[in-house]
Structures are given as structure tokens and as C-alpha cells.
């Protein structure tokens, strides 16, 4: 929040700077660190100018936290031989303002044997997965069910969209051939960031 934008109703996320303790007292939904008041939650600011208090009213519903069984959509990052991290931006149909990270292990990729995560997804891919554990505040994911997997993939060589081909994915731009664990509706969910939705 910029210095000149102090007013009620502003949308803030955890960590956003709300002011300093010389100006305001720290109300519900905020915390103080080194004399600076930050938001503790995702929500909207409430400035009580009479009492010089700043608060944040949470706006995120309970249902937008990934729970066991939740179907989530995220971008694959840090793809390794046996693991990938998904940056989750959707739970069900709800887009998230904050970010959750979920871990996909090779054993949760498919009901069959998969030897290498690079044949499942690559960094930058959009993946639909199911939350199978939230133990110790860590999110563990699976793409084993038939309706789960990569829904959008980019060529790791040139960045163009990959198209399903016989036994894999091909790039119409550079001819590269790659493998993925595809969801059956690959390429049809075009609502991510609007960039693929030309209509």
C-alpha cells in the first residue's frame, strides 16, 4: 500500500505494509515488525481515523484453502527427476490471490509406473491435480486420476504451445517432441490469465 493511498477498503495480502506505529495502532488482522504495521491476512483495510487504528477484515473464505480432495490448478515449477512443485492459483473454480505451493511426487503421478517426472510435466506447464495430504501444513498432490494431469504445456525448446501427437506432444513451430501426463481436456481450459482466450 503506497504512502498516499491510506484508506479503508483496500485489498491487501499477508505482508503488505499498512503504515508505521507512529501513525497507527495495530488492529485485528495486522502485525508489527520493526515498527511497521503489516497485514496478517488477505482482506480489506479498515482505517479508524478517530482512534488511529488500522485493521484488516479477512475476505478469503475457508473453502479457498486447499484441503484433502480439493482439485487444484497450478503452474509446474522446479521440476526434478522425481518431484515437481506446483504453484497453485486455482482451487476448484476459484482463483486465488495468494499462493500455495504443492508437491507432486513421481509415485503420485499415475496409477501405472512412471520413471521420470520430465515425462510428466515441465516447468511452465499448467497442471490439474488433487490434494492427497495436507499433513504438517505441506500440500501433497496427485495426478493419477483420469481427469487430472497437464492441461496446457509449452515446448521446452521454443516456448510454443504443444499439441497432442501420437504417444506424446509435438511442437508445430520447431518440431520438438516431448512427453506429458495429459488431462483428457488438454488445451480446452483456456481461462488461465486470459492469454489463450482470443474470443
Which CB, 120 or 171, lies closer to Zn ion? 171
Q: Which of 56, 171, 182, 183 binds Zn ion (CB under 5 A)?
A: 171
Which CB, 123 or 176, lies closer to Zn ion? 176
State the nearest-atom distance from the C-beta of 159 to Zn ion, in Å: 7
Beta-carbon count within 10 A of 143 CB: 25
Sign of CA dihedral 185, 161, 120, 131: negative
State the nearest-atom distance from the C-beta of 163 to Zn ion, in Å: 11
Q: What secondary structure letter does DSSP report for 106?
A: G
Q: How many helices (H) and strands (E) does the chain have?
A: 0, 16
Q: Which of 158, 163, 168, 184 binds Zn ion (CB under 5 A)?
A: 158
| Stretch touching Zn ion by CB under 5 A, among 53-61, 81-89, 131-139, 154-162 | 154-162
Q: Does 165 bind Zn ion (CB under 5 A)?
A: no
State the nearest-atom distance from the C-beta of 157 to Zn ion, in Å: 5
- Select from 103, 117, 130, 86 the least CA-distant residue to 179: 117
**3-class secondary structure per residue, 124-172:** CCEEEEEEEECHHHCEEEECCCCCCEEEECECCCCCCEEEEECCEEEEC
| Stretch touching Zn ion by CB under 5 A, among 35-43, 100-108, 115-123, 160-168 | 160-168
Q: Which of 144, 150, 155, 183 binds Zn ion (CB under 5 A)?
A: 155
- Applying CB under 5 A, which residues contact Zn ion? 155, 157-158, 160, 171, 173-174, 176
Amino acid at each position: 500500500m503506497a504512502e498516499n493511498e491510506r484508506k479503508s477498503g483496500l485489498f491487501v495480502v499477508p505482508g503488505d505494509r499498512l503504515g508505521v506505529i507512529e501513525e497507527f495502532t495495530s488492529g485485528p488482522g495486522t502485525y508489527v515488525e520493526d515498527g511497521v504495521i503489516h497485514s496478517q491476512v488477505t482482506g480489506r483495510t479498515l482505517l479508524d481515523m478517530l482512534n488511529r487504528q488500522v485493521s484488516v477484515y479477512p475476505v478469503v473464505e475457508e473453502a479457498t484453502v486447499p484441503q484433502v480432495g480439493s482439485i487444484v490448478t497450478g503452474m509446474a515449477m522446479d521440476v526434478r527427476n522425481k518431484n515437481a512443485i506446483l504453484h497453485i492459483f486455482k482451487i476448484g473454480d476459484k482463483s486465488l490471490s495468494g499462493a500455495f505451493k504443492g508437491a507432486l511426487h513421481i509415485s503420485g503421478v499415475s496409477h501405472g509406473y512412471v520413471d521420470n517426472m520430465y515425462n510428466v510435466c515441465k516447468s511452465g506447464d499448467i497442471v490439474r491435480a488433487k490434494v492427497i495430504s495436507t499433513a504438517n501444513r505441506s500440500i501433497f498432490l496427485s495426478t493419477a486420476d483420469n481427469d487430472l494431469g497437464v492441461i496446457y504445456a509449452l515446448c521446452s525448446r521454443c516456448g510454443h504451445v504443444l499439441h497432442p501427437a501420437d504417444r506424446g506432444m509435438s511442437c508445430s513451430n520447431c518440431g520438438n517432441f516431448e512427453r506429458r501426463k495429459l488431462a483428457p481436456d488438454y488445451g480446452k481450459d483456456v481461462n488461465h490469465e486470459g492469454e489463450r482466450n482470443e474470443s
